[in-house]
Amino acid sequence: MAQVNSQRQQDELLASVELVAPAAADEVLVAAAKLRDHHAFVELWTRHSRTAFNVAYRITRTETMHRTQSKMRG
């Protein structure tokens, strides 16, 4: 029953995505990705992966710099 309900929700969501496509809002894509829509996930990844990598790089670079400075101070 849950799988049927999920399929119905996915069908409804995909119908609404077609109305907004090709530039679907992130909120619509997130909802579709939560329903295991691979294409929606890929679109979100394409849009936001560079930002995520840049943030992760800045965080790890800052942590590494702090550790290095702490070791140099003794």
Task: Give the separation between CA 13 and CA 50, rounded to whole angstroms.
Answer: 27
Q: What is the pLDDT of residue 3?
A: 55
pLDDT above 70 for 55: yes
For residue 1, name the pLDDT band (cuts at 50, 70, 90).
very low
The angle formed by the CA atoms of residues 41, 44 and 48, to the nearest 5 degrees, is 140
Per-residue DSSP letter, 21 = T
**pTM for this entry:** 0.52
What radius of gyration do the chain's Cα atoms show? Answer: 20
| Averaged pLDDT of the chain | 81
What would the pLDDT profile of 3-14 be if each residue is shown by its tens digit? Answer: 556 778 777 776
Task: Give the separation between CA 16 and CA 35, rounded to whole angstroms.
Answer: 14
The angle formed by the CA atoms of residues 15, 27 and 29, to the nearest 5 degrees, is 55
